Amino acid sequence: MTVMSYLGAIGAAQREAMEADERVVIIGEDVEANVYGTTGAGKSRKDKGDFLEMFGSNRIRNTPISEEVIVGSAIGAAMTGLRPIVDLSYSSFLYMAMDQFVNQAAKNRYMFGGQASIPVVFRSAMFYGLNTGAHHSDRPYPMFMNVPGLKIIVPATPYDAKGLLRTAVDTDDPVLTFEACMLWGSKGEVPEEEFWIPFGQARVARQGSDVTVVAISSAVPEALAAAEVLGEDGLSVEVIDPRTLVPFDTEAVIRSVQRTGRLVIADPAHRTCSAAAEISAIVAEEAFESLKAPIMRVTTPDTQIPFSPALEKQLYPNRAKIEDAIRRVTGLMANTSNPELTSPAPRM
Amino acid sequence: MDLSPTTQLEMQRRMLRIRRFDERASRMVKRGQIPGTVHTSIGQEAQVVGACMALGDGDYMSGNHRSHGHPIGKGSPLGPLMAELVGKATGVCQGKGGSLHLADFAVGSLGESGIVGSSIPIATGAALSSKVLGNGKVSLAFFGDGAANQGCLYEAMNLAGVWKLPVVFLCENNQYALSTPAHTVTSGVIAERAAGFGMPGVRVEDGQDVLAVHEAVVEAVERARRGEGPSLVEVVTYRFNEHSEGLRLGTDYRDASEKAAWVERDPIVLFRQRLEREGVASAEELDALEAEVMAEVDEAVRFTDESPYPDPSVAFKDLYTEPIGAIA
């Protein structure tokens, strides 16, 4: 074990994947210069050598700013023998390639009766909470959950970032990985050797018996912080990190809710048709009789993301909002005087 | 261009396969024997076969919504293609794709696409894979004059240009995007757009001449194989039938005399005349070839008729390489 940052763990997974299999290539904007810090062995280019030096320009390829053909050509390459990792930098840029994601990546294997397999990983970072404005702050994973044929991972720790990315590269299906920028600097214990985390297996980030909190991506540390605070009040909070949204570990969530009888979901996506909405529906369908209180979602309201820190910061699930939601479903008095924090966004 | 008699006869055979297959599909869709719609390549056979036969067996090709000719031109057998049109389990895509989405990886056909322009990046990616793996394969992307105005073509040409990918962009300019004449929506000459990406662009004015198309595409393929990068080939041709059969579009947007003039220049008739004239084959041999192809189509239909429909459970198969749990 060694201590790695989330970003360092992604770099380590990419390096190991490229060393293990010559068919793995990295394509994307600014990957040659290691601008985002995931295509260099060390933090700086000169530190321990970088990917361009290690793997050469045949396998590390800077692209033009042309998302549609970046995504489409990666699909075509994956259908014919490569295992590309595509760095799309900001997750808001996925929209430019929507046709390729939806009509090619997700459908080709199916439409062609299994003739194609499409082993490609699309990485993107969610830059929310960093005052980058509406064009760079999206958390678009629920849109893609609505497209059968894609796999979706949302690692929340350095350990998961490394292990899930290795599995993603080795998976024969298209995988979208959404990495929260807020987590990039977070540090944790990560094995230096190779390891793989299977998809569809949630992680119990904290055990508890009074309430289940399913937290996604950067909401995980927030949920853990809320659980700590409530622990001091004698409340036992279980925090589950699904780690992968497609496939989703339904069983782990149901099992937990059957024990605790209460569910809060913390999801940084917009409220309508969010991952939280889907998880709520699953639990309502499959574990309704276990519920002692209504399910509560802590999400981002259905508004675009404003620039000003004063406007943006209040929007996302944070420890205070998660704590309030937990207090509500457990019948404890809410700690805050602001009921809007946990109530649905007003309809505009 | 010096082509062996065998190659020339194979060209005629493949053009005839496309023609007879599409004629049969057209009748079957009108009788309700094929669900949905089909888009025939009747009239465009020289362009399809001339291009496909410039590729080797191991080379890749992606196509578009006018979709049966491309895999047939690449050498795909007719039975599984016809079965796919009907939605049978023995279809080339096991009944999951249908007319618009035929693919036959065994002959390098990476798939047709119902989204205009959408498969151009796929062929470009196959070329990337050839380049990285160094396997010498070339890719060809078929697209129509309508797709020539899609942004993804230009993203693909730019990427292929900077990376010197072994890909040929082949514009099948049949002059109409459904009812819309190309000249009313397309500025300038499509082939000339290549210059902006630093690649050769050629326009084959007589797309009814299979040898003219073949020659132009062979040159582009050889250039790609030499590592010199992509090319754009625009072929001017004409579809004899409706945009889509099985839909009653109901408007006559094409001038009858214009259509008649193109039908006069039937690529299969023209090539047959040439083969006879130049002594490549006798009339009797060519008649026999036509009979053989007709028998192949009959056999494809018989194969289709005798094939079962897929089991309903197959609707959930092949979404992922391994089932991922509750999706039903």
- Domain A2-190 and domain A203-330, same fold? Reply is yes
**Inter-chain residue contact A81 with B133, CB threshold 8 Å:** yes
User: What's the ipTM?
Assistant: 0.96
Name the average pLDDT for chain B.
96
Nearest CA-CA distance, residue A167 and chain B, Å: 14
What is the structure's pLDDT at A345? Answer: 45
In Å, how far is B51's CA from the nearest CA of chain A? 20
- A61 to chain B, any CB pair closer than 8 A? The answer is yes
Interchain pair B319, A109: CB under 8 A: yes
Which residues of B are less than 8 Å from A99 in CB distance? Answer: 115, 118, 152
Measured between CB atoms, which of A64, A72, A149 is closest to B122? A72
Q: What is the pLDDT of residues A233-249, one digit of tens each?
A: 999 999 999 999 999 99
Q: Which of A111, A117, A248 sits opposite B321 (nearest CB)?
A: A117
Q: Which residues of B touch A113 (CB under 8 A)?
A: 91-97, 318
pLDDT score recorded for residue A342: 45
Q: Which residues in chain A have Cβ-Cβ distances shorter than 8 Å to B92?
A: 113
A31 vs A333: which has the higher pLDDT: A31
Across the interface, do B152 and A68 touch by the CB < 8 Å criterion? Answer: yes
Contacts of B17 (CB under 8 A, 6+ apart): B72, B78, B293, B296, B297
Indicate the SS3 state at residue B291: helix
Judged against a pLDDT cut of 80, whether residue B300 lies above it is answered with: yes
In this predicted model, what pLDDT tens digit does every residue of A62-81 receive, in sequence order?
Answer: 999 999 999 999 999 999 99
Q: Is A145 exposed, middle or buried (0-12, 13-18, 19+ CB in 10 A)?
A: buried
- Cβ distance of B325 and A99 shorter than 8 Å: no
| Cα–Cα distance, A44 to A52 (Å, whole number) | 13
| Pairing mode, strands A175-180 and A203-206 | unpaired
Report whether pLDDT(A47) > 80.
no
- Above 80 in pLDDT, residue A49? no
Asked whether the beta carbons of residue B325 and residue A72 sit closer than 8 angstroms, the reply is no
Q: How far is A187 from chain B (nearest CA, A)?
A: 31
Tell me how far apart the alpha carbons of residues A88 and A68 are, in angstroms, rounded to a whole number. Answer: 11
* Strand, coil or helix: A84: strand
Q: Chain B: give the shortest CA distance to residue A136, in Å.
A: 22
Does A58 contact B92 at a Cβ distance shorter than 8 Å? no
User: Is the model's pLDDT at A29 over the cut of 70?
Assistant: yes
Work out the widest C-alpha separation in chain A, in whole angstroms: 61
Contacts of A80 in chain B (CB under 8 A): 60, 110, 125-126, 129-130, 137
pLDDT of residue B323: 86
pLDDT at residue A334 in the model: 59
Mean pLDDT across the stretch B43-66? 98
Query: How close B3 gets to chain A, by Cα (Å)?
Result: 30
How far is residue A96's CA from residue A77's CA, in Å, rounded to a whole number? 19
Which CATH number is associated with domain A203-330? 3.40.50.920
Q: How far apart are CA A205 and CA A199, in angstroms?
A: 16
CB contact under 8 A, B132 and A69: no
* Architecture of the A2-190 domain: 3-Layer(aba) Sandwich (3.40)
Contact state of B115 with A59 under an 8 Å Cβ cutoff = no
Catalytic residue among A15, A83, A123, A136: A136
Task: For residue A139, give the amino acid letter.
Answer: R
Residue-wise pLDDT tens digits, B105-121: 999 999 999 999 999 99
Alpha carbon distance A102, A66 (integer Å): 17
pLDDT of residue A278: 98
Tell me the nearest-neighbour CA distance from A101 into chain B, angstroms.
11
pLDDT at B327 over 50: no
The pLDDT value given to residue A335: 55
Q: Which of B102, B120, B129 to mutate to test the interface with A (most CBs of A within 10 A)?
A: B129
Torsion angle of the four alpha carbons B141, B144, B145, B147, in this order, in degrees rounded to the nearest 10: -70
A201 CB within 8 Å of a chain B CB: no
Question: In this complex, do B97 and A112 lie within 8 Å of one another by their Cβ atoms?
Answer: yes
Q: Is the pLDDT of residue A344 over 70?
A: no
Touching check for A171 and chain B: CB below 8 Å? yes
Give B223-255 pLDDT, tens digit per residue.
999 999 999 999 999 999 999 987 777 678 999
Q: Do A69 and B318 touch (CB under 8 A)?
A: no
Give, rounded to a whole angstrom, the gap between the first and last alpha carbons of chain B. Answer: 56
- Top-confidence residue, A49 or B39: B39
pLDDT at B40 > cutoff 80: yes
Percent of chain A with pLDDT over 70: 93
Average per-residue pLDDT in chain A? 93
* Average pLDDT over every residue of B34-62: 97
A270 is catalytic: no
* Number of CB pairs, chain A paired with chain B, less than 8 A apart: 159
Residue type, A92: S
Sorted by sequence, the CB contacts under 8 Å of residue B102 that are 6+ apart come out as B63, B67, B68, B70, B71, B76, B81, B84, B92, B93, B109, B111, B112
Taking the domains of chain A in order of start, what are their residue ranges?
2-190, 203-330
Report the percentage of chain B scoring pLDDT > 70.
98
In this prediction, residues B121-125 reach a mean pLDDT of: 98
Q: What is the pLDDT of residue B1?
A: 77
* Amino acid residing at B226: R
Nearest CA in chain A to B150: A68
Beta-sheet pairing, A187-190 with A2-5: antiparallel
